[in-house]
Every structure is written in C-alpha cells, then in structure tokens.
Structure 1
Amino acid sequence: MLASYHKYILNFKRPSGTSRGVMTEKETWFIVLEQDGKKGIGECGILRGLSIDDRSDYEEKLIWTCDNIYLGKDLLWEALLEFPSIQFGVEMAFQSLESETPFLLFPSDFTEGTKSITINGLVWMGKEAFMKQQIEEKLANGFQCIKLKIGAIDFDKELQLLRFIRQHFTPEQIEIRVDANGAFSINEALNKLRQLAVFKLHSIEQPIAKNNMNSMADLCKSTPLPIALDEELIGVFTTYEKEELLLKIKPQYIILKPSFVGGFRGTKEWISLAEKHNIGWWITSALESNIGLNAIAQWTYLQHNLMPQGLGTGALYTNNYECPLKVSKGQLWYDNDLNWNFDFHTLEI
C-alpha cells in the first residue's frame, strides 16, 4: 500500500465571520491510499486556531502517518490520538479504498437518493443587514431550522434579528439555534441566556469559552434554554475523560464534529456516552471540502438521528469539488444524477 498527503486551500465565496474573526480561506489536507490499482482518499479537516491538532508538527505527523500506513487504521487511530483530524482522514481513506468507488463509503437509502438528511441553515455573522438577508434567504429556501452565529455584533441587534424571525414564524414553524462560540463572559452569560430564552430557541452552543468547567456546569444547571457543548469537547481524548466531562457539566446537548473528535470512532464514543446519560446530540461538519462532507453525511445518515444536522456547508467555497450532495428545502440529498469532478491526478501537481 502506498500513501501520500496533499495540501489544498479552499477559498470562501465571501468572507465568513465567527466570534473568533473572519475567514477568507480554509486549509485542508488529503491522504491518498493506493493498492492493487485502486485509490482511496480521506480529508484531514484541520481548522487553524480551533483544532487541538493545530500544531507546528502537523505536517511532520502527516509524513509519519504515510510512512507507517502499513500499521492499518486501528493502530494508526490509537497512535494519532492527539491528531483527531488525521485520525479522521485515515479512517476515511481506508473506507474509501475498501469501497466499490472512492466516494461511496457507506451505501444506504441516502446514497440511493431515496432518503434525505434534515439540516439546519447556517447564518454567518456580519452586519445586521447582511445577517437579515441570510435569514430571509434561508426561510425562502424552505429551512425549518436556522442556526445563527452570534456574539460578534451588538447583542441588542442580535436580539432584534431573533425578534424579526419570531414576528413571522412560531417555534413550531422555525426552530432557531444560536452559536456563541464562547463569546459571552462568565459574568454576563446567564443574563444573556435569559434574554435569548424569550424567543423560544432550541438551544445555544458554547455560550462561554471552553475550560471553564465549573462555570459551564453552573450555567447548564440554571439555564432557561438548553445548552449544547461544542468547543468544550475539543482535546478530550480518552473515554474516561469524556464521561467525566459529561458528568461534571451535564449539558443538554453535545455537538460532534468528526474532524475535531477523532473521526467516526471518536464520534461514536461520544454518542454512546451521551445516550448513556440522556444527553442529546447531533453531528456537524467543520468546514471540510465536499470530500469530507460527503463522508460525514453518509455516516451520519446511518446513525438514525432525526434532529436537524449541521451539514450544509458544501456551497461555501469557490473551488470546492462538485459532488452528488445537494440541498433542497432544508434537506440534504444525494443526487446520483450529479457527478464528482474530482481527479486524483490533480493532487499530484
């Protein structure tokens, strides 16, 4: 078996804002396996400034992984514990190599095109008018669940945007999720949650920054609306540590990004623990290309979670790979009339 790695820069169609800043491009890495004339591909979806494996030795670890690919995916997963995005890329690459075609990883009714995955419509941070425009577009496109990034503009203006939605749509018509990306200070968080709860939101992601475990536990205990942990899960590697975190904080939900939590195997560990302790969960992508998004979507369908998932990021880039995934009326579909425009040879350039 031969293994190689390749860097690829994804360019955003328009600058995309979070409370951590504005992104214009996204770096990603592909691992390609070749054996007996077949090829497989996996995506290592690192997000600089957020991924736990955003380290100076990242490329060095990719070289080591390719040099030791003979170990197989299970031993490599164990060896790459501190590099969850590479764990995921390796898992995906082996699954791709073993599959009938490189991009049909988990055959199902979803890949047959007869079933879809309900997803949320993502509204990026920006000026009030831009955020309102995005909201109107998502509603017009038939989304029944909208996720707003908050915490970057004036909080009163963010409340006005939520008021705008609720003036036109009841909670039964449109589910609203908000994501603060840890933007609220510990002292102001509960007061802000009370103001947000007026709009009957589904949940808020990561209201305060990670690594404030006692404060987050207090918030989850007294919150007027459900709290979902996201960044809090990054860098929690062992099963023991994962369960300890859930028992300490007792969140209402956790949000799982395979690129951040150790691929499918790491995600499955979190799901098992969440269900053991009656904690809800859903899966989101982490701004991967369509190669990674395709793998996550196919696997997510097999988890049989009917909540809206966070898998609608495929149209963000000018230079993404065309693929069979398409979004229609708030549903992610696999359209077999659409083809991949991916060529392995282009990675060698």
Structure 2
Amino acid sequence: MLQASYKKHTLQFITPGGTSRGVLTTKNSWYIQVWDVRNPTVSGVGECSILPHLSIDDKPGFEDKLRELCANINRYASNYRSNMEDELLAWPAIRFGLEMALLDLKNGGHKTIFASDFVEGKKSIPINGLIWMGEVDYMKEQLAQKIDSGFKCIKMKIGAIDFEQEINLIREIRKTYNSAQLEIRVDANGAFNSGEALAKLNELAKLGIHSIEQPIKAGQWQKMAGLCAESPVDIALDEELIGISDSYKREELLATVKPAYIILKPSLLGGFKACDQWVQAANKLGIAWWATSALEGNIGLNAIAQWTAIQDNTLPQGLGTGQVFANNIASPLEVKNGHLIYNKKQPWGTIP
C-alpha cells in the first residue's frame, strides 16, 4: 500500500556555472518520497532533476505531472504501476526520481540504492575535475585547484569564449603536463558549427585531447557520423542520446554515427533501466561509455554513483558536481585525490 509526496528544492550555485547555453546560478530539483502505509517510518527518496534548455521535460507541466503521479500512487496504492513506464517516457527526470525512490524504499530507506564496496567505503570511483567556462584567468584558477586536489583527468567546457583563447589555455596546460600526466576531456555542448568542427578538432588533436563531447548540435546524424570517421579526437555523444527511448532507435543511432564513447546521464535518459539498455547497445558495437551527473543534488548524485560502482567500468566518471551547491543536502559523498568516496561516518542531512 504505497503512498507518495514531493518537495521542491532550489539549489544555489556557490559560483555561477558557465556553459555554452548560458550561466547557471540556480537549479531546481524535486524530491519524491514513497512509503508503505504499513510501515510509514521507512521511506525511499528520489530526486527529479532537470537541466534548463536541455532536459526534454524542461517544459510547462513538469510539476503538474509530478503532482499527478503522486496522486495516482496515493489513489491506486499497489496498482499504480500499470502503464507507468509508457506514461513517463516523456518525463525522464520524473521516471528516474521514482525509480530511485522505489529502490531506496526496497532497500530499507537508507539511501542505499545498490549495495557495493563503494557504499561500504571500500572502493572509490575515479572522476574528472570539471572546469566551468568563463574568463581565461577564472578557468586557470579552477584548473590549478583541480590539479592541486589530485585530479588526473579534467573536463573543460569549451565553446563560449573565443576558441583561440581556449586553445591557448590548453597549450599552457600542456607545457607542464603531458597527456600521460593529465587527461584532458573537452565538452562543446554542440557549440561548433558543422562546417568548422573538423578544423577545430584537428587543432585540439595537436594538444593530446582525450575526447570531445558533442562537438556539433544533436540531430545531425550523418554529419556527426562524418566527424566520427574523420576526427583525430575521439568523439563522445551526449545530447544526442536525449529523447531516444526506443531500443531500435538507440541501435540505429550508434550504428550510424559510430562514436568512440557515449555519455550516460540517468536524469536525462530516464533512469537506470534506460542506461542499462544504452550500455547493452553500446557493448554490441564496441563503444565505451562513462556516466555523468546532470547537476543533481547529493540525493541524485548518490544514486548515480552507486549504479556506476556496480558496473565494470574503470574510466573516470563525471560525478564530481556535489560540491558546486551552497545548499546541497549533507551526505557521505566526498571527493579526495580525484576520486569520489562514500564516507560512512558522515550522516545524511534532511530534505529541506
């Protein structure tokens, strides 16, 4: 006999986060809680997180849909599951939040989504250090902090300032750290024009770049396929995956474009089941992957980290965003020496 409710929480960035789609100062999340009326002191919590101008459920009616979902759970109790997956395909963040909450409830309501050595504090997850877009001096400052903190892999957002300035910054990095000492990933968020993309990729290749995420805008399969075939830098698909929930379409995209990597963001793709399906499709074609948060708070980040920890994937993951918010929920998640760890001695905070 399940019941559900939700709360909205506006996360505040400690420092504005610059992307090619603008500067973020706040980001909304909604926490959905589910419990069994026969044991109401135990509840599962999930985070429904959307990214402005990127999530397909960043549209009018999001909170109405979440309210409707909770009402249906409360009304139909144990029978609410019928047709739920189909009904929530257009709302991947809500679908993920509910999946997370149900798994948490199933496992006792302790925010243990997937049991593993990571949750026991016996295993860490290598992560990349994220460098936000901004003035060159600001990006240099972030870079120094990440390297001092022990990161061996960094991810730079590019495409918002002059490309030559961004290239010069990477040249400065390479004067001190070669590609064996520091892995550099870049993320263009689709900022490159398709006609100029290859020339820019050739410039990046000279600097030992590991990979580039989404060099051109999503939806240009043939152009992206051409880039993947010709680029001297490995290409990772990110935004390209959003909105594709049909298994045939997944396989068609990957077989057409043939990227080196795909980036999995459960909040944007519809949760763990959807990500598992992407992994299966990628494995068939020899395409590698890593997981990245979509700027969830610690509730969502914890769930993604736990799912990642049970996968056979040793690549640095994009899971270092828990420290960007001033009013995040306190959690056992910590970043040390370029790794995400779960410190069992640190208790969870309460949902505001």
1:25 is matched with 26
Asked if the contact 1:176/1:202 (under 8 Å) is kept, the reply is yes
Question: C-alpha distance in 2, partners of 1:255/1:74?
Answer: 30
Cα distance, 1:74 vs. partner? Answer: 7.7
Asked if the contact 1:145/1:176 (under 8 Å) is kept, the reply is yes
1:11 is matched with 12
1:307 is matched with 315
Asked if the contact 1:290/1:323 (under 8 Å) is kept, the reply is yes
1:33 counterpart letter in structure 2: V
Asked if the contact 1:73/1:91 (under 8 Å) is kept, the reply is no
Question: C-alpha distance in 1, partners of 2:318/2:35?
Answer: 31
Question: C-alpha distance in 1, partners of 2:284/2:218?
Answer: 23
Provide TM-score, normalisation by structure 1.
0.96
Cα distance, 1:147 vs. partner? Answer: 0.2
Number of aligned residue pairs: give it: 344
Structure 2 unmatched ranges of 5 or more: none
User: Using a 3 Å threshold, how does the CA distance of structure 1 residues 300 and 73 change in structure 2: closer, same or farther?
Assistant: farther
Question: C-alpha distance in 2, partners of 1:75/1:42?
Answer: 20
Asked if the contact 2:45/2:109 (under 8 Å) is kept, the reply is no
The residue correspondences of 1:1-349 to structure 2 (distance < 5 A) are 1-35=2-36, 36-37=39-40, 38-69=42-73, 70=77, 71=79, 75-343=83-351, 346=352
Question: C-alpha distance in 2, partners of 1:186/1:329?
Answer: 37
Structure 1 unmatched ranges of 5 or more: none
RMSD over aligned Cα atoms: 1.2
SS at match of 2:321: coil
Asked if the contact 1:113/1:335 (under 8 Å) is kept, the reply is yes
Deviates more, 1:51-60 or 1:125-134: 51-60
Provide TM-score, normalisation by structure 2.
0.95
Question: C-alpha distance in 2, partners of 1:146/1:89?
Answer: 28
Cα distance, 1:101 vs. partner? Answer: 3.3
Deviates more, 1:188-197 or 1:94-103: 94-103
Question: C-alpha distance in 1, partners of 2:223/2:290?
Answer: 23
Question: C-alpha distance in 1, partners of 2:102/2:306?
Answer: 15
Asked if the contact 1:82/1:237 (under 8 Å) is kept, the reply is no
Cα distance, 1:72 vs. partner? Answer: 5.3
User: Using a 3 Å threshold, how does the CA distance of structure 1 residues 322 and 231 change in structure 2: closer, same or farther?
Assistant: same
Question: C-alpha distance in 1, partners of 2:140/2:83?
Answer: 48
Cα distance, 1:82 vs. partner? Answer: 1.1
Question: C-alpha distance in 1, partners of 2:272/2:47?
Answer: 13
Asked if the contact 1:65/1:76 (under 8 Å) is kept, the reply is no
Question: C-alpha distance in 2, partners of 1:51/1:74?
Answer: 25
Identity %: 51
Asked if the contact 2:293/2:318 (under 8 Å) is kept, the reply is yes
1:87 counterpart letter in structure 2: R
